[in-house]
Structure 1
Amino acid sequence: MLQHYRFDFGTETCPPVEGYTKITPKHAYEASTGCGFTRTERVNAKDRVEPGALRRDFCIPLDTAFQVDVPDGTYKVSVLLGDEIADTDTTIKAGEGRLMVHKQRTQPGHFVRTSFSVWVTDSRLKLTFSGMAPRINALEIDPVPQACTIFLAGDSTVTDQPADGYPYAGWGQMLPMFVKADAAVANYALSGRSSLSFIREGVLDTIWSKIKPYDYLLIQFGHNDQKYGEDRYTEPFTTYKETLKVYIDGARERKAVPILVTSVQRRFFEADGTLRDTHGDYLTAVRELAEETGVPLIDLAATSKTLFEQWGPEGTKALFMWLAPGEFMNFPDGTEDNTHFQQQGGIEVARLVYEGLKELKLKPLMLYLR
């Protein structure tokens, strides 16, 4: 039997709503209980008395996560956010920094119930809270095994970067904020992988073991296919296309829908302010393969070129990992990286992918996009 989870956050003195488990600032995660905050020292609670039911009291989760042990699978998560007397601002990330709710604001006396789906693979649903004035009033978690899943296969520009690397982010990590609660994003992209090494390391086999009919597989490789070495290198018009076709054929055999994505551009500008293409024939090869196989194509190389040229050589430093010394705790010495994104860049590139998906007008996928 599928289990459903209900949590009422707030003070010890306010009784839980019927059918809900009360969660207070003292509820630290323990394996024996299977739920709780990862850190409690900065979690507080308030009881406003007046609103009633789930709106009456709440927790203020500052720089902490709430974990729930659940079987692997897809879950619809619904959160109630708000405060009777104060403005609120809450951001929620799932797992390794997947952006689900971004700067959700409420005015005094107003409450928002927002839902999203999460793909869980480590038997633990982890929701991390941040924001100027975060709140959590209530949380409901329901298994949705038949929900559509959007699988991602790719490299470091796509992957879920770890929390201790913030603000480092892949566009796949930011994509969930553009997807409705009817679908989940399963990001299997990994740093340093090419289309070939992703297969050789067994990651594609993991996707094949989980993908369902009518799910979707977005495929973006190329950055590391260019790097010489027998473990990763592919030649654009032969082994690169042949390897990508393994993804296409495998998805179709399982009645899932493959979607090719050209490599996102790097941040290299010419003297006249135009972007220099560093992918060359790999982009042509993906476009040709999409045409030859009838696979939908998101030309992220083209749209990211336009975006980066609009932002310009200086402006794009806010999108890529160009960090000043001391700007972020995780990078005390700063960094200058023209390939990888900080969170704002990940969001902007994810928006391009989202817009590309909408333009494809694939049914029912377009119904799952916000």
Structure 2
Amino acid sequence: MSYKFDFGPEGVTVEGYHKVTNSTLYEENLAYGFTTINKVSAKKRTNESLTGDFCIPFDSTFVADVPNGNYIVTITLGDAFAPTHTSLKTNGEHLVLQNYETVSGQIAREQFGVNVRNGQLKLSFGGLAPRLNSVEMLQTSQQITIYLAGDSTVTDPSEDGFPFSGWGQMLNYYFKHDVVIANHAIGGRSSKSFISEGRLEGILEEIKEGDYLFIQFGHNDQKSDEERFTDPDTTYPEHLKKYIDAARSKKATPVLITSVHRRYYDNDGHIINMHTTYLDAVRKLAEEENVALIDLADRSKQLFEELGEEATKSIFLWGEPGEWRNSSNGIKDNTHFQEQGSLQIAELVVQGIRDLNLMRLTMFLKPTE
């Protein structure tokens, strides 16, 4: 099943496409459109079908009601008369294009994967000169899905949560359209509470043979409340093993990930291990169960010590009063990331995928720049 949209001013619509103009506001009975139109304009440059006209969606979002599942999205963008500059996020605020540029006269075609769980596929545009010529959304069951189970350092942010960002939000950026990210991570959860709330069961309802389950818990397993606390020597690895067994029961591949470090330094500029023996518990379990391990703790330690205490503020949620709209009084958060930081952490995860040679994933990573 596919959904096709032709963007631009009123006029001739290509057969099989829905026409979307700068005044096409989303309505439930229409089932597609821009969520707001005050920053959307439209232009016709040539008589070429699909590429001769476009919408200019400044800081705007286009949505389409579609069945839940995985999609390959093909987007055409460019301008016959002017250079363009576009950034794009999809469902879960997943980054797929960042500062994407075309020169005058160039029409570009890009593809990416999107996982839909709420009956709506969303395209949120930014950039200095965004253009949108056409979009095709093709539902498919052929893509590999990476399911993410984790906490707030992994989760997708809310639409109004900027600049907060989990690394799972950024993982899509590094893959071609053959791989889709289904981020089930949620803030405040431990390996124990994620299961007790039925979230692992929700993944099991969807995950299939050939998919992957990435598992990162630890930040909240240290909390003292009964709902979340696990012991690093006993109940913590016992709960993590439930994720491993669940993935394998569906012939999917589990991947354990050690918790990313917090931003705490000793007097010599070395990262302090705030996760204590939880990190070793993950490493030991990976060896015992013959599970692939991405040691994000070790990788983030190397990165944070290389950057130093001051420079890592650009990774974490640090800001002066007035710097971030959602933290007008300033913020000093040594656990959570801002978007540029989560992009760097996601890159560490991708490096782990390459080093492990997880073949069905590495073959679909975008070329390194």
TM range (shorter): over 0.9
Name which of 84, 88, 92 aligns with 1:92: 88
Retained in 1: the 8 A contact 2:46–2:80?
no
Name which of 238, 244, 256 aligns with 1:242: 238
Deviates more, 1:328-337 or 1:157-166: 328-337
Name which of 189, 203, 206 aligns with 2:202: 206
Find the counterpart in structure 2 of residue 26 from structure 1.
Answer: 23
Task: Give the CA deviation at 1:18.
Answer: 2.5
Residue type at the aligned position of 1:16: T
Asked whether 1:42 is paired with 2:33, we answer no
Alignment of 1:246-325 (within 5 A): 246-325=242-321
Task: Give the CA deviation at 1:19.
Answer: 2.0
Find the counterpart in structure 2 of residue 58 from structure 1.
Answer: 54
Find the counterpart in structure 2 of residue 4 from structure 1.
Answer: 2
Find the counterpart in structure 2 of residue 194 from structure 1.
Answer: 190
CA distance in 2, matches of 1:254, 1:138: 37
CA distance in 2, matches of 1:328, 1:135: 27
Find the counterpart in structure 2 of residue 352 from structure 1.
Answer: 348
Task: Give the CA deviation at 1:171.
Answer: 0.1
Cα shift readout 1:268-292 (whole Å, capped 9, x = no counterpart): 1112211111111001000000000
Task: Give the CA deviation at 1:311.
Answer: 1.5
Asked whether 1:17 is paired with 2:6, we answer no
TM-score by length of 2: 0.97
Find the counterpart in structure 1 of residue 223 from structure 2.
Answer: 227
Alignment of 1:319-334 (within 5 A): 319-334=315-330
CA distance in 2, matches of 1:203, 1:100: 26
Unaligned runs of 5+ in 1: none
Residue type at the aligned position of 1:69: D
TM-score by length of 1: 0.97
Find the counterpart in structure 1 of residue 174 from structure 2.
Answer: 178
Task: Give the CA deviation at 1:67.
Answer: 0.5
Retained in 1: the 8 A contact 2:320–2:329?
yes
Give the 3-state SS of the residue equivalent to 1:91 in structure 2. strand
CA distance in 1, matches of 2:225, 2:64: 42
Name which of 127, 137, 140 aligns with 1:141: 137
Q: How many residues align?
A: 366
Name which of 151, 157, 160 aligns with 1:161: 157
Residue type at the aligned position of 1:9: F
Cα shift readout 1:176-220 (whole Å, capped 9, x = no counterpart): 001110010000000000000000000000000110011000000
Residue type at the aligned position of 1:6: K
CA distance in 2, matches of 1:228, 1:368: 41
What percentage of aligned pairs have identical amino acids?
A: 50
Displaced runs of 4 or more, over 3 A: none
Residue type at the aligned position of 1:287: R
Give the 3-state SS of the residue equivalent to 1:242 in structure 2. helix
Asked whether 1:342 is paired with 2:338, we answer yes
Task: Give the CA deviation at 1:237.
Answer: 1.5
Find the counterpart in structure 1 of residue 358 from structure 2.
Answer: 362
Residue type at the aligned position of 2:38: E
Task: Give the CA deviation at 1:105.
Answer: 0.9
Asked whether 1:106 is paired with 2:102, we answer yes
Asked whether 1:76 is paired with 2:72, we answer yes
Residue type at the aligned position of 2:95: L
Give the 3-state SS of the residue equivalent to 1:130 in structure 2. strand
RMSD: 1.0
CA distance in 2, matches of 1:250, 1:96: 24
Retained in 1: the 8 A contact 2:144–2:180?
yes
CA distance in 2, matches of 1:5, 1:349: 34
Residue type at the aligned position of 1:243: H
Residue type at the aligned position of 1:74: N
Cα shift readout 1:144-181 (whole Å, capped 9, x = no counterpart): 12311000000000000112110100000010001110
